[in-house]
Amino acid sequence: MKKLTILTAGLLAAAQLTACAFPSKLTGLTNPQTGTGQKDTVAAEETAESEEVMESSEGEEPDLETALFWSIGSTVQMEITTGLTTEYLANLCAFPVTVHFDDKEVVLETEADLEELGLEELYTDGLLEAVKNCDIESQKIQNNRMVVGDDFNCVVLEMEDSGSPGIKEFYLSDETGLD
């Protein structure tokens, strides 16, 4: 999980650096035909463009914690909708993980417990559909928790002591949010 945290943080930092707009500083530009300087005009236009880009991206970019939750949420979404082994899912879990069924509750203490329960038990049709249809980037983080899924079938991510979100709970219901 720590390797995933470091990799995710590195990718987020790289993405943020490439998304930033840096105004270039042009000095000493003169019009060869008139001999007048264009420095002020060019610099003012570039600064205005840069500020416009920065303003539009500031309202849209999530803070680092939200971006981290969204990144892990996307990974969880991909793993649940395409995953075939408990090994990959276990790397995303923050053990102990509680699985809430309609009529019972199971606590998974380790990867071995997850393997014993099996993906067939976890990956219900309702969960697969709810996670697949979840818009990760519209999910809100409240009390260091984020839900991936719907009101009936979902995965709850929670911030671990390591500083990375992980799966803490599954909610599996016979009911679905589908009409």
Query: Phi/psi of residue 134, each to 5°?
Result: -75, 130
Predicted confidence (pLDDT) per residue in 35-92, tens digit: 544 344 444 444 444 343 333 334 567 899 999 999 999 999 999 999 778 999 999 9
* Best CA proximity match to 151, nearest among 100, 97, 103, 114: 100
| Predicted model pTM | 0.65
SS in 3 state form for 100-136? Answer: ECCCCEEEECCHHHHHHHCHHHHCCHHHHHHHHCCCH
User: Which residues make beta-bridge pairs with 145?
Assistant: 142, 158
Q: Where are the domains of the chain?
A: 2-58, 64-171
Over residues 127-179, the pLDDT tens digits come to 999 999 999 999 999 999 999 999 999 999 999 988 899 999 999 998 765 54
* CATH number assigned to the domain covering 64-171: 3.10.450
C-alpha to C-alpha distance for 131 and 105, rounded to whole angstroms: 20
Nearest-CA neighbor of 25 among 13, 9, 43, 10?
Answer: 43
d(CA 90, CA 60): 32
- Amino acid identity of residue 112, one-letter, is A
What's the CA gap between 117 and 162, in Å, rounded?
26
Question: What's at 82, amino acid-wise?
Answer: T
